[in-house]
């Protein structure tokens, strides 16, 4: 445990694209910034899950790989030299009498700032263990594919059925000696078009099965795959240098990854030691001293609920039309307080 205290104008919790751009813009406005992230390198889920995947929905880029996008954001922010606090998870928040906010990490580092921006996305990734093979981590068993070139000419086994697992398998197919995809269910969570590409490729897809044994000497050499009906097959995971068996942690229904929600949630007021509340199916852990998104110097970047709230307020501020016009009745019945479209009524 350390007792370092880092003093900056702005603390950014989350080192993904939003957090990196927040640090750049803070510097552009003359503020010093510190970026806190639980991953060992900046970029968030883009670096961890999609470094080699083309991204098509970034303004100004018809197509850009995840690693290139992150590299550009890091270079852009480097102009103002933000402080990176990586491989540490923000878990405590304290307000001081002078108005500053102090964030404590799981490794004892303290960051004191005048304002906080939370851009933690879905939070910290947590892998789901395989039935066997944890002792091979770092010796042929890995969680991510940071570089496809590292697996050229190798026998690769990918475990999972989400978007990232299927994307990795398809991306490795042209350069790997062989690719086997193992999924414990028959149905895949990946996009339908990706699944079609997968079945049309040379990837050996084994569904309704799991890795039961991992064999090797110093590194992984073969894996034993057992189906739900008890049949067993063995697939190579080593032929050329540094073979890897990639496993897919417990899936998020959207991203194919497990995650731990960040403990810093900006909504509401001080709830002390009360249990986390559920917001539209999500669990948010509160810390003493937290304020609403527009209070106390704490903001959440990219919060859709905040955008909807502002849009709702702007619609309500507009002059209201007549209650009945040409057979239409304007009404708002949404429990989320969002305005509904006009609903037809009988004459």
Mean pLDDT by 10 residues, the chain (347 residues): 79 95 96 94 87 86 93 97 95 93 94 94 71 80 80 90 88 92 92 93 94 88 92 76 41 42 46 43 43 58 56 56 40 43 42
Question: Who's near 50: CB < 8 A, 6+ residues apart?
Answer: 66, 164, 167
Q: Where are the alpha helices (DSSP H) in the chain?
A: 17-28, 44-49, 66-78, 163-172, 192-200, 304-317
CB 133, CB 141: distance < 8 Å: yes
CB 264, CB 82: distance < 8 Å: no
Question: Who's near 49: CB < 8 A, 6+ residues apart?
Answer: 66, 144, 164, 255, 256, 257
d(CA 6, CA 10): 11
β-strand 110-118 against 5-13: which pairing, if any?
parallel
Residue 157 is predicted with a pLDDT of 93
Full set of structural domains in the chain with CATH: 5-125+259-302 (3.50.50.60), 134-247 (3.50.50.60), 307-344 (no CATH)
Residue 331 is predicted with a pLDDT of 41
First to last CA, the chain: 72
Residue 288 is predicted with a pLDDT of 41
Residue 150 is predicted with a pLDDT of 84
d(CA 342, CA 321): 11
User: Please, is 123 exposed, middle or buried when counting C-beta atoms within 10 Å of its C-beta (0-12, 13-18, 19+)?
Assistant: buried
Residue 312 is predicted with a pLDDT of 60
β-strand 245-247 against 155-159: which pairing, if any?
parallel
């Amino acid at each position: 445990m350390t007792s370092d205290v880092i003093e900056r104008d702005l603390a950014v919790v989350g080192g993904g694209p939003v957090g990196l751009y927040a640090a750049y813009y803070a510097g552009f406005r003359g503020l010093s910034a510190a970026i806190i992230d639980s991953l060992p390198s900046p970029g968030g889920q883009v670096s961890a899950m999609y470094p080699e995947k083309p991204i098509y929905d970034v303004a100004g880029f018809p197509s850009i790989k995840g690693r290139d996008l992150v590299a550009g954001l890091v270079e852009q922010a480097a102009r103002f030299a933000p402080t990176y606090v990586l491989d540490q998870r923000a878990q405590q928040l304290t307000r001081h009498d002078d108005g500053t906010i102090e964030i404590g990490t799981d490794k004892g580092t303290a960051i004191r700032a005048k304002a906080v921006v939370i851009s933690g996305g879905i939070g910290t990734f947590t892998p789901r263990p395989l039935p066997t093979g944890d002792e091979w981590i770092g010796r042929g068993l890995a969680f991510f594919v940071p570089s496809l070139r590292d697996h050229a000419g190798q026998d690769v086994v990918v475990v999972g059925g989400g978007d990232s697992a299927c994307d990795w398998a398809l991306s490795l197919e042209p350069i790997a000696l062989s690719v086997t995809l193992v999924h414990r269910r028959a149905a895949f969570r990946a996009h339908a078009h990706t699944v079609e590409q997968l079945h049309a490729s040379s990837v050996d897809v084994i569904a309704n099965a799991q890795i039961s044994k991992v064999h090797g000497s110093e590194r992984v050499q073969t894996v034993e795959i057992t189906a739900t009906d008890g049949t067993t097959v063995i697939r190579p995971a080593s032929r050329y240098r540094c073979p890897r068996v990639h496993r897919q942690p417990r899936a998020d229904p959207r991203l194919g990854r497990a995650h731990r929600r960040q403990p810093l949630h900006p909504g509401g007021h001080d709830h002390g030691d009360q249990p986390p509340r559920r917001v539209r199916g999500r669990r948010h852990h509160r810390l003493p001293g937290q304020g609403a998104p527009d209070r106390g110097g704490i903001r959440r970047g990219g919060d859709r609920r905040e955008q909807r709230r502002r849009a709702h307020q702007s619609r309500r501020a507009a002059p209201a039309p007549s209650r009945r016009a040409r057979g239409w009745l304007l009404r708002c019945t949404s429990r989320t307080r969002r305005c509904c479209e006009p609903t037809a009524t009988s004459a």
